[in-house]
Amino acid sequence: DIVMTQTPLSLSVTPGQPASISCKSSQSLLHSDGKTYLYWYLQKPGQSPQLLIYEVSNRFSGVPDRFSGSGSGTDFTLKISRVEAEDVGVYYCMQSIQLPRTFGQGTKVEIK
């Protein structure tokens, strides 16, 4: 199984400041079709996970542009340009290049 490793595991951010989360995979997520199957989710307190980013850098429908994704191969980053109070929760990366789909351990983001 592909192991997804996130850092840090927790983050305390002042509103309006940027935040960054790293995700590393144990194998390359670049498929022979040219796509890289890496996704980012946010699980707000008491809610189901919601898709933020698909295929490394594409924002899902309705996701604010303060969220951005980057990376390639095995190293990926989610950035929030200016954190808002509504961004609190646990962020997960996930890979879909190989079954079983696997998730990172999660990064808990809180507001200072």
Partner 1 sequence: QVQLVQSGAEVKKPGASVKVSCKASGYTFTSYDINWVRQATGQGLEWMGWMNPNSGNTGYAQKFQGRVTMTRNTSISTAYMELSSLRSEDTAVYYCARGDGYSLAVDYWGQGTLVTVSS
CB under 8 A: which stretch of 11-19, 20-28, 31-39, 64-72 binds partner 1? 31-39
- Cα angle value 56/65/57 (rounded, 5°): 10
Q: Which of 13, 39, 74, 80 binds partner 1 (CB under 8 A)?
A: 39
Which positions from 49 through 108 interact with partner 1, judged by CB under 8 A? 49-51, 54-55, 58, 60, 92, 94, 96-97, 99-106
Nearest to 22 by CA among 34, 37, 40: 40
Alpha-helix residue ranges (DSSP H) falling in the chain: none
The amino acid at 68: S
Query: Residues in the site for partner 1, rule: CB under 8 A?
Result: 35, 37, 39, 41, 43, 48-51, 54-55, 58, 60, 92, 94, 96-97, 99-106
